[in-house]
A and B are shown apart, each in its own frame.
Chain A
Amino acid sequence: MTFSEFLVSHGGVFFGGLGVAFAVMFSGIGSATGLGIVGQAAAGLIIEEPEKFGRTLVFQLLPGTQGLYGFVVGLMIVGQLTIDMPLIQGLYLFAASLPVGFVGWGSAIAQGKAAAAGVTVLAKNEEEQTKGLIYAVMVETYALLAFVMYLIIANAIVF
């Protein structure tokens, strides 16, 4: 079996699997970084005001959703994997996984920064904390759009 024969017969499942990996990996890296950024800001606040722990947790969780979208997309692709799927289907699923992976990566970090600033609002002007929350959520729109686009792509072509 030559390499190209191998690619034609098993490439589908390989690229499908790669799609799962990309969706979960990059959005996961982004979310982890984002959570880290907010966590640092929150830890600074907790030194002085430990009673705000619960509310800082809300801010910290915000950039966590990108990783979850990536995870969900990963699960959905896993559901379509078969050992003898055609190469083009695998490549197509791989392409479909890219938005949620990469937008998730960038947006989670950006959202982490916005949420860290929101923690400052919580520290200095507690009553306005929800506004800080909403600024951070604005960023998430693009992660959501990427997630929706996966659904549209995956549904657009039936193999």
Chain B
Amino acid sequence: MQMAIVKMSSFNLFAFDSNRDDLLHELQKFEYVHFEDLEEAEDLKDEGLKSVTVPESMVEIDDEIAKVRHAIDILRRYHSEETGLKAMMEGKPSYTFKELEEKALKVDYLSAYEDLKELASKVDRIEEEENQLNALKEELEHWIKLDYPIKDLKAFEQSKVFVGTLPIKLGDKLDEELADLEYSHVEIISEDDENRYLFALTSKDEADKLYEVLRSSSFSVVDLVGDGTPREEIDSIDLKLEQLAEEKGKIEDSIIALLKHLSEFEVVYEYLVNKKLRLSASENFLATEKVNLIKGYIPMDMEGDFRKTIESSGLEAYYLEIEEVDRDDPNVPVLLENSKFAEVFESLTNMYALPRYNEVDPTPLLAPFYLVFFGMMVADMAYGLIMLIATSIVLKKANLEEDTRNFIKFFFYLSFSVIAWGALYGSFFGDLIPIKGLVDPAEQYQSILMLSIFFGLIHLFFGLGINAYMHIRDRRYLDAFADAGVWYMSLTGAIGLILSMYVPVPAVLLTISKWVMIAGLVGIVLTGGKDVEGIGAKIGVGIYELYGISGYVGDFVSYSRLMALALSGGFIAAAVNMIAGMLFEIGVIGVIFGIIVIIFGQSLNIFLSLLGAYVHTSRLIYVEFFGKFYEGGGKRFNLFRSKPEFINLK
């Protein structure tokens, strides 16, 4: 088991263009291949190599993917998703790549897709019609009191009818103006928040005049559609809606009957997405008329398997060279491999930045500190036990994706630390169940504060040590001395001096501390400017480097959060218990409410404590620890597989 950045080899592969599909297929099964994009390789292009044009079949595949995706989306709408826990327990079906291909090729999804498409478009049409009818019905509902057939309103010989709306805020002045009209009758049929729904009957002679009056009050004509009275029209719309709903129900039943194909569609989808990835991989290649040049990276210890894969892929002829990579080449992709324990902490490294290929993988280095610090911040036996039990059950029962599984495992490991620190602090749901711990945080927070700073010291010194290690590994001894050595001296000396103020130390030790510190500080000034030219600049930069000491002061103080978070969490738990205790004293109802307060309060505190510990420990790692040695910025090694959405792919 490797614990670090996986060693890479680079390869150059020349193969016939006609064999490309078979070759890529085999390589996809192999999975651990990262192609180098040769699109930018001008030197090769100058020699006459051209970019490979993406095969036309890409368009077809995109089309197929779109169809399958459409089918999945339709079916998922009718899929009564098993809720939460049960779905998590069952998880997604698992396939190997070979099983996936075999299963996908057996499925004839097209006929099911055509059926589905037709059914779905029928549903869409019905829904559209329903919307129209509903809009019509809503419109008519305002006129429901108008007990007269709509078609007759326009059929008067001597009179004219106006039907329409008036904005309510302009309505009042209308009455005065209407008083001048002799042969007009205006009636408000109904009103809502914004409009009055108005019916006006007038003689043909006066129609224009009335219209003018109405128009000046922002009247807008409504064109009622239909034959019967509004009431009759609404009834007939309701009848139509009922029929449509029935029809829709039947169609939906047929869609639900097709649900059995959902898992097939999902498998086909994953297969097609991988196929697309395979075809689009050729965008990375260069080619002459008949030969492809493929460059890329593979893990060094898979070299043998890689050769075998290519040999067995049925190529007529090929040329393969594999060589060691240049450690400092920024193009080398980075793949992390860690022990089962450290693996779960990889998400933290990923979140910050992948290491460059010539750095170290910080994951196994940060893991033990993360474990200790997280526990120290939560520090409650009961909270730890809850974490332990919950994560154990999930890990045992549920079928999880790898990322989720690692995330749960992360908390599983952390729970032990939380329990241990809880026992040390004598905390079980705060002070709910009294336990005799080694220290009482409420009383002895000074000692815990000292301990926190001490942990900070170890953490920072360890970080500096890694920095020194990387320099020494690469034979840059002066850098090791400048970046770590002088700081070790200054800090150790300074700590010796500070300690001497509180505890009696022999005078010799004091003198040694003093001179070590002075030597360290001089060292900082002398080596700080090693990368700049000119004596003046060297001294200037060196003195500026001294300012870095204030950074260290800040770093140490930052570790006080190890104490503060545990203490505030403990106090909040205690406050919850106190409130519950007061409620307990007032009888049965008090006991019931007390229990509710405890459950609610403690749950909230667990959540807050875990969230706080998660982000604050991350901060100690990212800012204080990584600041001492880590840069990151490596390229990710892209596996030759697409990340599955509906299944687990092994």
Mark A residues whose CB is within 8 Å of B: 58, 61, 64-65, 68-69, 71-72, 75-76, 130-131, 133-134, 137-138, 140-141, 144-145, 147-148, 151-152, 155
Contacts and interface: CB of A to CB of B under 8 A. Distances in A.
A136 B122 CA distance: 50
- Kindly list the 5 A-B residue pairs having the minimum CB-CB distance in the complex, ordered from nearest: A72-B571, A137-B615, A148-B560, A144-B564, A144-B561
A144 B565 contact: yes
A147 B571 CA distance: 13
A147 B622 contact: no
A1 B623 CA distance: 58
A63 B564 CA distance: 16
A65 B612 contact: yes
B278 interface: no
11 contacts: A64-B608, A65-B608, A68-B568, A72-B575, A75-B571, A134-B619, A134-B622, A140-B616, A148-B560, A152-B449, A155-B446
Contact of A155 (B445, B574, B612): B445
B588 interface: no
Contacts of B572: 68, 71-72
Contacts of B564: 69, 144, 147-148, 151
Nearest to B578: A75
Given A134-B619, A138-B619, A155-B445, A147 B611 contact: no
B563 A148 contact: yes
Nearest to B622: A134
Nearest to B616: A137
Interface in B572-615: 572, 574-575, 607-608, 611-612, 615
A144 B562 CA distance: 10
Interface string B431-468: 00000000000000110010000000000000000000
A155 to B, nearest CB: 6
Contact of A141 (B561, B574, B608): B561
Contacts of B618: 130, 134, 137
Contacts of B574: 75
Given A147-B564, A148-B449, A148-B563, A58 B611 contact: yes
Interface residues of B, number: 27
B268 interface: no
A58 B607 CA distance: 9
A95 B295 CA distance: 68
B449 A69 contact: no
Nearest to B612: A65
B557 interface: yes
Given A133-B615, A137-B615, 8 more contacts: A61-B611, A68-B572, A71-B575, A72-B575, A134-B618, A144-B560, A148-B560, A152-B449
Given A65-B612, A69-B568, A72-B567, A130 B558 contact: no
Interface in B525-563: 557-558, 560-561, 563
Nearest to A79: B442
B351 interface: yes
Contact of A72 (B449, B561, B568, B615): B568
A86 B563 CA distance: 30
Contact of A76 (B446, B560, B571, B616): B571
Contact of A147 (B351, B446, B568, B619): B568
B571 A145 contact: no
B545 to A, nearest CB: 24
Interface of B: 351, 445-446, 449, 557-558, 560-561, 563-565, 567-568, 571-572, 574-575, 607-608, 611-612, 615-616, 618-619, 622-623
Nearest to A155: B446
Given A141-B561, A144-B561, A151 B571 contact: no
Nearest to B615: A137
Given A68-B608, A134-B615, A155-B446, A145 B575 contact: no
A99 B557 CA distance: 16
Contacts of B567: 72, 151
A71 B234 CA distance: 62
Give the interface centre of A133, A138, A144, A147 by most chain B CB atoms within 10 Å. Answer: A144
B616 A151 contact: no
A63 to B, nearest CB: 12
A71 B570 CA distance: 12
A7 B425 CA distance: 40
A70 to B, nearest CB: 10
A114 to B, nearest CB: 12
A151 B351 contact: no
B561 to A, nearest CB: 5
A140 B568 CA distance: 14
Contacts of B607: 61
A58 B560 CA distance: 23
Contacts of A137: 615-616, 618-619
B568 A61 contact: no
A139 B644 CA distance: 38
A141 B619 CA distance: 10
Nearest to B572: A68
A152 to B, nearest CB: 8
B500 to A, nearest CB: 21
A151 B608 contact: no
B437 to A, nearest CB: 18
A144 B564 CA distance: 7
Nearest to A69: B568
Given A68-B568, A71-B575, A151 B557 contact: no
A152 B607 CA distance: 27
A136 to B, nearest CB: 8
Nearest to B570: A72
B575 A75 contact: yes
B74 to A, nearest CB: 20
Contacts of A140: 616
A126 to B, nearest CB: 13
B575 to A, nearest CB: 6
Contacts of B351: 130-131
Instruction: Count chain B CB atoms within 10 A of each CB in A58, A64, A141 and give the residue with the most.
Output: A141
A56 B622 CA distance: 23
B110 to A, nearest CB: 32
Residue among A64, A138, A151, A152 with most chain B CB within 10 A: A151
B581 to A, nearest CB: 14
A75 B563 CA distance: 18
A61 B608 contact: yes
Contacts of A147: 564, 568
Contacts of A141: 558, 561, 619
Given A68-B572, A134-B622, A151 B611 contact: no
A15 B437 CA distance: 34
Contacts of B557: 145
Contacts of A72: 567-568, 571-572, 575
Q: Which of A58, A72, A76 has the most B CB atoms < 10 Å from its CB?
A: A72
Contacts of B558: 141
